[in-house]
Structure 1
């Protein structure tokens, strides 16, 4: 391997390179993912340079001393198979040493991830449909900006292995997005975000205490953006109610990943998890 290959941390401006690489791979990043992702851990984004040319990237976000998440693992196509990817992966793993590390791996790379100590926990499947539909009649639907953030963060805590307040605050308030919840008896019983992407929109997260609340919020999000546009929802295969939701609205599977961890699979509330926040940051 060329001795001039250097790995270092990215600046915020350089992180746009990673977003563009993700777009070139067909991952359809959100229009404002860069700011939200980078703020989650500005020490957790790595750039691989060959003769000062950026050719590889990786995110290794350390949410806490016990949990991290790897994503955006990309090497430019013309440089693959030469060891540059393994070197940047090792830099990210070294940064997250001691953490239980998660990732959403493309299926073609599962054997490769296993070499780094990752074990498959379950599949996440991306479904595509169209925005619009019938506006739900539910007086409990509110903008998440209208309730205390602490209430949202507490609700989020059962769906993610550790606190992610820094990321979540930005995610809920990002431009070109709608963040809604449902309140019943002064309690948050569902929350979700729909954001504009390079193509159409993505919904994520989508959390709800019942299939009925999930469907209501799904419709509310889809009817608060331009109708007739592609919309994507990433579901856990092991939530049958999430599968029933996407099938009810004739959404089609277009992509899937394997959620993998280096240690134990976290005890997330999968029954109420109808939409993964993102494949890049978990």
Structure 2
């Protein structure tokens, strides 16, 4: 039978999420279906003699943007060329639309390999962990995300993400136990979400017009975690995001690099305090 790369079946996304958890990525408890349904054609399995040994996603957001994630080869099969073949399956899919920009979050030791495929480092990201026992009050300017006009939310989100992603966000906010707030003061000034993960809670996205708004959303999100571990992925290029994790004494865990090809899209990184997901951007 040999090695083949094929599209992932719906029930196999749990396998990919399980591999991601084993790698220490700590995915959300209910991320699997949301991820897969964003672009079912963009998930791939590398199969050796009928056994899945590798996976990758190349999720498209319309015609202009795509994101590579879930690039995992089972440890005992690494270094044998299976990863590259699986990688090529996702890249071929993303290149089906000419002119599409696509990105990824690459661990430091693999970034030189991604450069060989034309990716260039745009900025560094880091995951931080913290625990919060304080009973932070919910700011009166915060409302449930469902109370914000949908088109206004999508327009705000578009400042920080390279494409419209309404389908993804609707599913993201509706995941069980997910808490999401929008900060409204005559207009939408920020929003954030927190969801249960394999360990603790994952914060993301967290977008805001300035530090005070980001801090108020952050405090309201972590207020209900009751001391459980909270994780936040930040772009280190945003000094106010760095300030946030320092003020709340969060500990750095690991670093990745946001990389793009053929070029980085224009984004408001000064307002990006928490990356949505290392798997889907």
Q: TM-score under structure 1 normalisation?
A: 0.96
Residue by residue, what CA displacement relative to the aligned partner does 1:83-136 show, whole Å, maximum 9, x if unpaired? Answer: 000001011000011321100001110111111111111101111101342423
Note if contact 1:235-1:275 (Cα within 8 Å) is conserved in structure 2: yes
Question: Secondary structure in 2 aligned to 1:203?
Answer: strand
Q: 1:6 aligns with which of 4, 13, 32?
A: 4
2:44 match:
46
Question: Secondary structure in 1 aligned to 2:29?
Answer: coil
In the TM superposition, structure 1's runs of 4+ consecutive aligned residues that sit over 6 Å from their partners are none
Matches of 1:117 and 1:136, distance apart in 2: 47
Matches of 1:16 and 1:245, distance apart in 2: 33
1:125 match:
126
1:137 shift after superposition: 5.4
Segments of 5+ residues of structure 1 without an aligned counterpart are none
1:106 match:
107
State the superposition RMSD in angstroms: 1.1
Matches of 1:176 and 1:237, distance apart in 2: 29
1:65 match:
63
Q: TM-score under structure 2 normalisation?
A: 0.96
Q: 1:93 aligns with which of 85, 91, 95?
A: 91
2:74 match:
76
Matches of 1:229 and 1:137, distance apart in 2: 18
Alignment of 1:185-196 (within 5 A): 185=186, 187-196=187-196
Matches of 2:38 and 2:182, distance apart in 1: 23
Matches of 2:220 and 2:16, distance apart in 1: 32
Note if contact 1:136-1:216 (Cα within 8 Å) is conserved in structure 2: no
Change (3 A) 1:278 1:137: closer
Segments of 5+ residues of structure 2 without an aligned counterpart are none
Matches of 1:24 and 1:211, distance apart in 2: 34
Question: Secondary structure in 2 aligned to 1:43?
Answer: helix
1:245 match:
244
Note if contact 1:178-1:194 (Cα within 8 Å) is conserved in structure 2: yes
Matches of 2:198 and 2:26, distance apart in 1: 6
1:179 match:
180
